[in-house]
Chains A and B, each alone.
Chain A
Amino acid sequence: MLGKLDWSAIPFDQPIPLIAGAVVLVAILGVLIWVVVKGHLPYLWHEWITSVDHKRIGVMYILLASVMLLRGGSDAIMMRIQQAVAYQSQGYLPPEHYNQIFSAHGTIMIFFVAMPFVIGLMNLVVPLQLGVRDVAFPTLNSVGFWLTATGALLVNLSLVIGEFARTGWLAFPPLSELSYSPGVGVDYYAWSLQISGVGTLVAGINLVTTVLKLRTRGMNYLRMPMFCWTTLASNLLIVAAFPILTATLAMLLLDRYLGFHFFTNEAGGNVMMFMNLIWAWGHPEVYILVLPAFGIFSEVVSTFSGKALFGYRSMVLATMAICVISFMVWLHHFFTMGAGPDVNAIFGIASMIIAVPTGVKIYNWLFTMYGGRIRFATPMLWAVGFMVTFIVGGLTGVLLAVPPADFMLHNSMFLVAHFHNVIIGGVLFGAFAGFEYWFPKAFGFRLDERWGKAAFWFTFLGFFITFIPLYVAGMLGMTRRMQHYDVAAWRPWMIVAAIGMAVLTIGVICQIMQLVVSIRNREALRDRTGDPWDGRSLEWATASPPPVFNFAFNPDVRGEDAYWDMKIHARQQSLGHDVPEYQDIEMPRNSPTGFVCAFFATIMGFALIWHIWWMVILGGIGAFATFVVFAWRDHDEYVIPADEVAAIDRVNLEERRSLVSMAGTI
């Protein structure tokens, strides 16, 4: 009846996950009760859960990422404490628990923090920057988000019911095969990634189509803001790379569920094929994450330097070059597998070549700042901090791209330090910069600058105190994923790294405080102009938060930096007098499809993990029925009458008239 599921699945003997699970459960129940008692449920349902508005979906993505960041961060803290105390002792974590923690940490941070964060920002901003009303497929967008949430939910369920994978974040066979991992951990891993992977693919298709087919009038390719370009590149990579992940995990699951022999040791299976496939997805994935961050930095640096982006066309070229080359370097993840010097040399050179367009970008940002009127607001701090951090990460990356050096440093803490260097310094700093930069656009008030700056400095310093010691430990020969160790030379570095982790944690607390303080002072921080930073691209041309239709009229773009040109133009002609003729606007109707679909996907995923076959069938039928019901509806749009559009837009125009006179003078 319940497959492999019974009471032994709940770890009554392990206090840590049980207490953590109980706390989370109480918190969730508390929030739910509060929502119901306060009568917020209808609001949540109509305005958020069933919303197909790209801005709302973007916000929900970022919210999901933030919650999961806390979870993944707790894992990180536990690991750093373990390695600090586990010198010639077992530490405080049993080995199988420690292995689950590092696997969950990697999985969560990549799939459920970095991915939703950048996809959320892209969702929120790109249609605004393109001057359009929504993404190409609004309902599908909602489905994509809720499937991502399903994946995150399943990972968190594994904390209390059953276990998570102990195989590392990529579940290499043969360790992840049934013979070596008989539990449900790997199944939790694989099914949560399969389900959220579908969501990611949907988001990718959506954003590619949006950028290529929905740009507003006059928005030629070479007038698109840089963030739109990097979004395009990143989503092209999603569309090309995520099916590889889907196929690879499907093969692993077939091995585990039906006794197939893709990656087994016996009957001719090929383990190295898994490495090749997973990294053919995995390496582009790195650029899927970091390219949007590059776009964010381009926007931020240009805005806060008061200058157009230096070398715009070279930036576009560099972005697309990275997009292509990222598919040609995957083998550097296993130089030591014995592919031979020729193969290693070719992939080594490709890996070094990809540093060239990245270097071009760094110089472009520096030259954008050169001669500009720089304002060190919080987003700009993250951008400058990124440039410093990322160069270190890039240099160590080029070092690792040299096969002989890689033979020494492969699988060491040096590698761990390197990829945290680029992922934190690149993606996370980018996500925070984007968060600070676009928060006023999403909610209509700024974030508190003092707490924001404090968060930056603690994170920045904490980052270096944590990861520089890991570089050193790697040089001293410490391998990754060590549960405990006996080498005295490593110990001090582990202790320093743990201290760094504490500093980083203060940074996170500052970030939370910033949010709390800003929400409390939101009236004082209110931005009525819609353009708090003196921005240059179209998202600043509308009110904050933008009306559901984004723009009363599709903007007409005449050049790069569309909104900047409008402001200058308007100031010269002391404009703003035309009373436009408003028209009715058709917008997509809200739909519970995404939420219902994810509900059935959750049931199905859980049932698959525990081999509860009747429930699998039930979930499958439910998901299909949802789609048929969705396909059957007759009215998928509603009309906002011209009067209403006029009323909403007039307020925005009034606020803006005062601003226009100040453009470029702030």
Chain B
Amino acid sequence: MAMTATAGHAHADPHHIGVVIEHPGPASKRIVTAYGFWVFLLSDIVMFSCFFAAYAVLSGQTAGGPRGSEIFEQRNVAIETVCLLLSSFTCGMASIAADVRNRFWFYLGMTVTCLLGVIFLVIEFREFADLVARGYGPSRSAFLTAFFSLVGCHGLHVSAGVLWLLTMMAQVFAKGFRADILRRMMCFALFWHALDIIWVAVFSVVYLLGSGA
């Protein structure tokens, strides 16, 4: 049988050189984890794209209710955007700190990320609460349905991210920078940056286009 002595070792087999580039075997755990998480993120983006599509279809269906330009407040959205983009930066700092095993900068980076995320959520929540109080809740019109769902879906993701972030900090506190913890940290960072990208799309499609209309 061919699966004898040479199998399992990494060095090249002389018979194969120059013929085909041989597949080297299973990838490392770090690559497998990151790859799987990327695939998950892509599927999550597909889900978001459905809500974007629904928004595109329904954005004109105001049923006599307000249009986007009447309810969007540019100042709030600007602050939200700044918060989220900054948090991506601080999350990156925390990732670097984790890579060089620096606890202080890791905790600092994560804390600031968390704060920025929470500020974002508070502003978004106030925007929603204000709209509902004025009678412009999601059941007012199909446009508002799509708006609340798309933006709210992103907000839910940010909330989950904050929860995950706190869990990450607790894990580093309890277990230190172990290999599996670092892999999770990498996934968290990917998740947080992906939320940023989605927010850029939300910002453009909902707020920028909506305010002009």
Contacts and interface: CB of A to CB of B under 8 A. Distances in A.
Q: Which 6 A-B pairs have the closest CB atoms?
A: A268-B61, A268-B142, A247-B50, A243-B47, A259-B139, A217-B25
B1 A656 contact: yes
Contacts of A554: 3, 7-8, 25-26
B149 A254 contact: yes
Contact of A632 (B7, B25, B139, B171): B171
Contacts of B13: 556
10 contacts: A209-B39, A215-B25, A217-B24, A220-B20, A244-B46, A262-B142, A267-B141, A541-B1, A632-B171, A660-B1
Contacts of B35: 136, 209, 212-213
Given A259-B139, A631-B167, 8 more contacts: A217-B7, A218-B23, A244-B47, A261-B141, A261-B145, A264-B142, A268-B141, A570-B2
Contacts of B143: 268
B27 to A, nearest CB: 4
A246 interface: yes
A251 B4 contact: no
A248 B142 contact: no
Contacts of B27: 213-214
Interface residues of A, number: 71
A132 B2 contact: no
B63 A267 contact: yes
Given A220-B20, A267-B140, A631 B43 contact: no
A635 to B, nearest CB: 11
B146 A575 contact: no
Interface residues of B, number: 55
A216 interface: yes
B6 A556 contact: yes
Interface of A: 132, 136-137, 201, 204-206, 208-209, 212-221, 239-244, 246-248, 251, 254, 258-262, 264, 266-270, 273, 277, 541, 551-558, 565-566, 569-570, 575-576, 578, 580-581, 583, 624, 628, 631-632, 634, 636, 653, 656, 660
Nearest to B22: A218
Contacts, number: 185
Contacts of A219: 23
A631 B23 CA distance: 32
Contacts of B24: 217
Given A137-B36, A262-B142, A240 B23 contact: no
A269 B23 contact: no
Nearest to B26: A214
B13 to A, nearest CB: 7
B57 interface: yes
A262 B145 contact: yes
Contact of A270 (B32, B50, B57): B57
B72 interface: no
Contacts of A216: 23, 25-26
B5 A242 contact: no
Nearest to A260: B145
B1 A136 contact: no
B154 interface: no
Contacts of A273: 53-54, 57-58
A56 B103 CA distance: 41
A262 B39 contact: no
Interface in B57-111: 57-58, 61-63
Contacts of B130: none
A220 B43 contact: no
Contact of A566 (B1, B8, B25, B32): B1
B58 A205 contact: no
B3 A254 contact: no
A136 B35 CA distance: 10
A449 B32 CA distance: 41
Contacts of B139: 258-261, 267
Give the most central of A209, A241, A569, A624: most B CB within 10 Å.
A209
Give the most central of A205, A217, A221, A653: most B CB within 10 Å.
A217
A553 B142 contact: no
A277 B50 contact: yes
A121 B99 CA distance: 40
A618 B193 CA distance: 31
Contacts of A580: 3-5, 7
B172 to A, nearest CB: 12
B51 interface: yes
A262 B146 CA distance: 7
Given A206-B36, A555-B2, A215 B23 contact: yes
